[in-house]
Structure 1
Amino acid sequence: MAGLFDTYKDATVLQCSFIEKLERLDLESVNGFSDSLASFLSAKDEKNFVYGLAAGRSALSLYSFLQLLYNHFNAFPCTMEDPVQKHFRDTRKNLGIAVSGSGETPAVNKYIEDIINQGGDMRLITANEDGTAHRLVEDYENGSILVIKGKTKYDEDMTRTSKLSPMGTEFELEVLAFLNAVFKEIQARIDGERDEACESYLSTIKDFAAQCKLISRIDEERLTRWFERLFPRSGRYIIGGVGRSGLVARAFEMRFTHLNKTSYWERDFNTP
């Protein structure tokens, strides 16, 4: 199991570097994203509909953010399980937030087109400036794009670095950290405080990176013991969690399917 622990440490250090990269994200883009969300959410007297458009693990990163919006603002989140036409009304504010690393997920692009055709606001987070999603949004009057460069599941890279962050982990992790960090900037703007230096965003990213480094220093004996109980197991894995922690558990469960393990996601799983 020593090899597994070394792999864990290397992977954690690598993924920590993904988070640190967000400190160098163009602050003009951070300000633009924060301003647009603050403007949309600032109306206190009406229900704002936010459509989360993403698939797979990218969706989990976005849903975590939608839950924050729901808990703190007068915002009703919808997902791709809800047709746009079901909730869209000209009499209320409508915003689509799409997350697609490649920009080529057909279902996401279809929903982007639906939002645009209905005249709603559209925000896209992507890693691919040549993708279909980018092309759909870039010329739309009520649309804006944030590019977060990161490897996606379509990148062809067989190096050890790629194996330490498989199947689009870099982009998904960066989106998750970015949205959680930028939330403070959105709150500040709604409260009338706008800081172009984005100190709240940057301090949160630095805190995330510091916490990630702590995880890389986990006790080897304890983690090895957990590995020994987890991996030789035959049969089914049942994985679950509650609230935003449940989204993390769901992402972990998806990895087991990639390993050809029989795994199940238990909704609202809550055991000691």
Structure 2
Amino acid sequence: MMVALAMALVVAASLAFHFLSPWRPTPIASNWSFIDDTLALTFIVTTIGFVAVILFMSYCLYRFRHQPGRRSTYEPENRRVELLLGGLTTIAVIILLAPGLSVWGRFVTPPEGAMEVEAVGAQWSWSFRLPGSDNKFGATDIRFIDANNALGVSPADPRGRDDVIVVNGELHLPEGKPVKVLLRSIDVLHDFYVPQIRAKMDLVPGMETYFWFTPTKTGQFEILCVAYCGVGHPQMRGMLVIDAESDYRNWLAAQPTFAKMRKAEAF
């Protein structure tokens, strides 16, 4: 009796904690409200399952508790119950997975004309590269990485001469324009995450991953690495600054190109 009551109280306390809790997701600053909607649906489905299972167990503990003279019966199979539970589980899994697959399809399908930005992770810092006036990135190779070429841009590729290089961990983007973020790791597994953008993706050594988003609010948002990447993992942070178009253009004009960095290095 006490165990059944305790289980019912756990359900009540869990629901109260969820609805009264002051901790909520940070305000969204991109087009990915779909992700918030999918998370909310996941909470709804799993909450229904949690409440139903725990309260059913509580009911069974009370209803079929030991009483003098009561004897249990053994029923090895019940086809009706198995079909019911199997059907309900299948429906719940479909409800959980189908919206997520749809959102994932959008997440990795950038619109035509989206501007491209490369984010490069290395223990334990973020660097960025933007295409220059030719709107094309130069080739890269880890063999070219050194103290003055942190991103490994090929000096022999003319497309890379006007690439804009940002090594201070602060990336500026214009508000309201879709951005395709190309992700590359120099060493180990990293994960690019901006909570307000609702966007995260692994950086896998040896391959290029990507996602896209449209920033909808100006401001500063912290870039985190959320894949454990060594002892300096907590310090691997950057800053995403969403600017009005004119402010973004001013910032971009002040950034060095790969050619200018190489020229300065020669002196």
Q: TM-score, normalised by structure 1?
A: 0.25
Structure of larger gyration radius: 2
Q: TM-score, normalised by structure 2?
A: 0.26
Which structure features the higher share of strand residues? Answer: 2
